[in-house]
Structures are given as structure tokens and as C-alpha cells.
Chains A and B, each alone.
Chain A
Amino acid sequence: MTTTLFDNSRVSELRLQQAALPWRRRTANFRVAVAIAVIVPPVIVGLLWFLTSIPKPILMLVIYLPLQLIASAIAAWSQRGTKAVLDSAIIVCAIGATIFSFVILISVLWSIVSNGVHALSWAFLFQNNVYISPSTPLGYGGVGNAILGTIMVVVIASLFAVPLGIATAVYITEVRGKAVPYVRFLVQAMSGVPSVVAGLFILTVFILTGVLQSSGFAAGLAYAILMLPTVARTAEEVLKLIPDDLRTGALALGSTRARVVMKVVLPAAKTGLITAAILGIARVVGETAPLLLTALSNDQTVLNPFNQPITALPAYIFSNVAQPYPDAVTRAWGAALVLVILVAILFTITRVLTAKRVRR
């Protein structure tokens, strides 16, 4: 018998059909319908935009959105039937929501850059605010003391939050005591503490009782409360990624558990732990409420974190917003730009570090 049961050419034909996914077929008609649905409403609204004086928000929300929904629905209905109408609505709304978020983000970033750039100068970056009033023209005074203050407060916070956060993560992943679920639960709960409450806590415990003055150290403690959950959770994720073979291998070689953690696990997770610390810093660097409660503000450059009030960047922005003097407002934008650049740098570092880890 030489007749083949299967005709090879038929099989490949079948495969082709399968690969073409009939329910995702995009015929020429379909493309034309989509093109019409995508082009016609914006053109109509564009004409209305320039030719009539209908207020823009109404034009977008009351005319464009329904028009786009209807146009897409008709296109979908003509090509795929009634079932596709709701799909088209979801697609339109989802793209709308995406554009909405992008517009807001771009608006925020653009306003910071375009307004803040006027304030930037070497004087702005390095001088402090002594003898500067809100009406002093730009070019004098700046955020030098605030940058120094931010660095100081963040370093103090890190000194507490990073070791404690990593220790918490080590407890969860390495020591694996009985309380792991509770510890994890508490860390989660702690991440929900509002920043103003963290400030109030430090205020009550240390400042109202007279143990500490309003100072960089007190603000650092408040920051540490906000920072610890982020560090602990990220570090936990990182330590979980370390293969168990490393731990068992080290144990099999006879090392003690403490050594396994200190000499094998933590070094292996080094970049990840740095990422955890940076994410924690990025989480707190813009917090304002704790500063207002625990560090107050100070126009002078402060080098001692214990004995006097200190200004950090968010507090500097806070005090310059809503001033009736345009130069003060521009200073606020400038400080915002500096803060955003700081956050962006931290962010980029974490991305580079994680990218490296993934590649390895």
C-alpha cells in the first residue's frame, strides 16, 4: 500500500490556518473599518476645537468620548457582530485611561522642569538661605543647606532602617523562626503608617519629652519608620532568590548558620540589598510631614544633626509654595526639580542594578 493516509500538503494548509487564528483574522475590510473609527472622530472634534468656542473639557468629555465610542462600536459591529461592541468600548476606555495617566505624568514632570529650570544656578545649588527673604530676587540664596539636610536625614534614617530591615528579611528567609507569619504581617501593617503619624510618634516620644530637640536626628528616626517596611520587603524578595544550594552547600561544608548568612547569603545578594536600601531611600526622600513635625526648618547650614532644627528639600519646597512672591515660587519649583532629579538618579541606579542581576 503506497497511498498515504495523510496528504502532507493538506496538513501544512491546516497548520497555516491554525497559525492565522481565525478569530483574530484581520481582513482588509476590518482594517478599513478600524481606520475610519480611529480617524473620523478626532477629525470632527479637531474641527470643532478650532472652529467653535465650545469649552475644551466639554468638547473632549461630552462630544469626543461618546463619538469615539459610537464610531468604534459601529466599526466593531459591522465587522464582528454585536459581541464585539463591548470589546470596542473597553479598548477605547482603556486607551483613554492610559492617555489620561500619561498626560498627568507629563504635565507634572514638564511643569517641574520648565518652571524649575529658571531657579537653577550654582548659587541656588550651593548657598544657604541666611539673609534671604521670599522677595529676594533669584540668584541669591538656595537649597544648599536643604540638600545637605536631606542627605543628613536620609543617611541617619538608613543607619537604622537598612540594618533592621535586612535583619527582618533574614529572620523571614534564613532564621525561619516560628513568628515568621506574624513578623511579615507586622511589616505589612507598618508600611501603612501615614507619614504624619510617624512624625507625631517621634514628636511624642523624643521631642515633647525633652530627650531630643527638633533636629536632623529626630527627623531621621521618623524617616526610618517609613523606610523600614520597604527595605524589609524588598530584601525579603531578594533573599528568596538566592538558591538554596548555596545555603545547603555551605552548611555541608561545616559552616555555622551565622556564617552561612554573613559570608554566603548576604554577599550573594549584595546588589539586591543595595537596591532594597535605595528603594527605601526613594520612598522617604520626599516626605514632608515628618520634617514639619520633627525637624522644623532652618535657613542656616547645619552640620550637627543633634542640636538644632534643620531644613531638608521637601520642607524647603513646603515653605516656598503659595508665597505671594514669584521668585519664592520659582525657588520652590527649583527645589522640586532638584528633588525629582535626586529621585530619578536613585531610580536609575536600582534599575541598572536589577538589570545586571537578571542578566547574570
Chain B
Amino acid sequence: MKTTMKEGFDLAMMRGLKKWRLFSLLAALTIFLSGCGEEYLSTLTPAGQVGRDQFNLLLLSSAIMALVIIVVVIIYVVALVKFRRKKVGEDVIPKQVEGSHTLEIVWTVIPILLLIVLAIPTVYYTYKHADVAAMDQVDEEGNKTNVTVNVTAKLYWWEFEYPDLGIVTSQELVVPTDQKVFFNLKAADVKHSFWIPTAGGKMDTNVENVNQFYLEFDDASASLEQGVFYGKCAELCGPSHALMDFKVKTLESDDFNAWVESMKTTQNVATDDLATEGEEIFNTSCIACHATSGAGTTGGVGPNLATFGDRNRVAGFMAHDEENLKKWINNPQEYKPGNLMPQPEAINDGEKFSEAQLDALAAYLMGLSVEK
């Protein structure tokens, strides 16, 4: 493999770390920290290069800071033990020292050196993680070499459009492993922030401009406890900010391509009677806002439901079962206050959906799938 300049820099940095004799401290920190949190959610178990870079920066900065703390604590404890009034005597007047130029220089210069050690990788990674030049790269045939996802954050759900692939989905981001995935981020109503803690840091979705960055994913998420990574909204966006979760499914290249193909050709046909009945209700009450085909572009009023049956959650945060789905449909405001889905009365002739209607709808929605 060709060693690029950046990788060389990473290596040099690691050597530099050793030189500073922080390595053993780092190793201890790594073990301690990775014990914290769930592997599908924690920043301490990075799932891709961006997250790993940032995790390494966490280790480096923690180590430097630990060093500072140790020095402070030693001076502090010794002073406290040695110079208590009980020890030095009630009537002793200590020498009124003015200060020390030598010491002032020592504790000015050493922190500056420590900060330089931290500042260099900081600046390096700041540029590295903002580098989206490869976003528009094309191969000989003119096809994009990397996947780009247009993320639109809405109250309180996420839309993921793949502009080069002509497909759109929501609530569950599906991305290939082993390549940079580029993101165009925007908010449709108020500001949100797009965060997949395991994959890397967050980026705000502003209302007036598109932000760009990239993330990388090492392995397929299928091996995780629930088969998905967790994604979060990190910017206060209203009452249901806490519930504005999404999930991330990472697939090997081939699987990803297969998923894209089935998205492009989604044909969700209700298979049994109950689901057919559900489809009819859906077509009168829901379809104005919810699309059920994966082929398409951004701009859905409500989340695209082409992959609903494949999903991990109902409404982004409730366990994925028919029970919750029915509760959700009949009272979205109770479960996600402030969200924009109409209450059933507004779309079902002024009444709640009946239990039979709900059963039918649930059967239909759970059948919407591109993976089965």
C-alpha cells in the first residue's frame, strides 16, 4: 500500500508520542476508557478512521492534562502537609516572598511546550477532517467514486438522500464500509446537529447553508447487538430534541450496492388481505406526506417509509413492534411532543383510527421492506 503523506504524518506523530514517554500512560487510558459505554454509541469505541483520530486526540490531550494534574497535585499535597499552622507554629510569621522570576519562566515555558505538542495534531486533524475535496472525484466512466449523502434534519426526523444514486430514505442511514462517506448537511426548519458518536464528531445542520464533512466506517454493523450504530441530534431543537435519534446501518460494498439496487426498484406490494386493507387506509390518509418508494429525491413532508419494515425503531426511538407502531399512529403528539405528524383526527375524518384500522396499517407498514 502506498504510504501517503498524511499516513506518514500519523506515524511520525505516534513516534513523537513515544518520545514523550506518554505511551504507557496512553495504553492505560485506552483500556480504561474503552470499558465505558456501548460499542454502538460510545465515542470511546471508534468505528472508523475519523472517530479513531479524534479518540487518539482525546488520549493525547488526556495524557498531557494528566501530567499537569499530577504536578499540581504533588505541589498541593506537599504544601498542605508541610505548611499547616499546627505544624509551623501559631505565632510564626512566614517570610513574605515576593515571587520568583525563574519559577515564573518555568511555568510559562513548560505549558507552552505542552500546548504545542497538542496544537500540532489539532491543526493537522482540523484540516484533515474538513477535507471534502474527494467528494466530487469520479472514475474513468464518470461515476462518483465515493458515496455522498444529503442529510436533511427536520422536526424530529432525518432524511437521507443519495443524490448520485437517485434514492432517498429516512431515519436509518445506510452506508458502505471501507470508503469515505461524504455528507451534505442541512436543516429544514430549525437548527439541528448530526452526530454518530462511534463514527466521529458532530456537525451542525444549519438552516441557511449546507455543511460538508465525511465519516468512515470500518465494519458492517450486522455484528452489533442491534445491528446498527446510534445517531443523535446534538443541538437543542425543541421539546422532542431528546427523541430525535436515527440509526446507522453499515454494509460491505457488495451488500450496499445490492441495497441500492433494491431501493431503486422498490415495489412494495401488500401481500395478504390485512396488509392490502392497510394499504388502502394508507393511500387515503397517509400518502400525502409519506412516500413508500425508495427511488426519489429529498423533500418529503414526512419520513419516506420504503424501508419501514427493515427499521430498528418506530418514530426513531420506540422498540420496533406493531404495538408501538399503533400507539404512535394514534397519538404522535403524546410520544413525540411538538412533532409535525398530524393527529389521527385530522386525517381520518375526525376520529382516531379503530383497532381494526390500526392492525391493517401496522401489517402494511411492517411489510414495507427492501431487504426481505
A and B bound? no
Could you tell me which B residues sit within 8 Å of A by CB distance? Answer: none
